[in-house]
Amino acid sequence: MSTYYVDKFLYTIDRDPKWVQRYKDDPAGTVAAWEEEVGRWLNAVEETTVQSFTDSERAALAAHDYVWLFEHGAHFFLNLTLFIALYDEDYTREQGPLSFQREFGRKLSHWLGREYPSVGL
């Protein structure tokens, strides 16, 4: 598991409108591009060589699979905020305000009454 790197993905995509759009339009291609253009950089010059995704993490991000991400310790705030950015507008238009957020919650309903996966690293 490299939950830190998953969180880094969610964090750096969410804060940049260009990356949000790319991730919406082409999830798998964007994950690969992000690893090359963002993930392996600490800043514009310094490379960070010690982080990488597992195959499962890469597949979950490529599938927009926020349930899997929740279940594997991705930070709840990052996981919610980015997928709201991707889906809220379309859901609101078709099913009304907050419909995406409520579906997100329903898809996690098997966790009700249980201790959630930790977001601590």
Question: Which spans of this chain sit near other proteins (rule: CB under 8 A)?
Answer: 4, 7-8, 11, 14-17, 42, 66, 70, 75-81, 84-85, 88, 98, 101-102, 104-106, 108-112, 115-116, 118-121
Our CB check for other proteins shows the closer of 14 and 57 to be 14
| Residues whose CB falls within 8 Å of the CB of residue 117, separated by 6 or more in sequence, listed in order | 70, 71, 72, 73
Our CB check for other proteins shows the closer of 32 and 42 to be 42
Shortest distance, CB of residue 54 to other proteins, whole angstroms? 18
SS3 content of the chain, % helix, strand, coil (to 5): 65, 0, 30
Shortest distance, CB of residue 82 to other proteins, whole angstroms? 9
Q: From CA 6, how far away is CA 96, in angstroms rounded?
A: 30
Shortest distance, CB of residue 62 to other proteins, whole angstroms? 20
- In terms of Cβ atoms closer than 10 Å to its own Cβ (0-12, 13-18, 19+), residue 17 is exposed
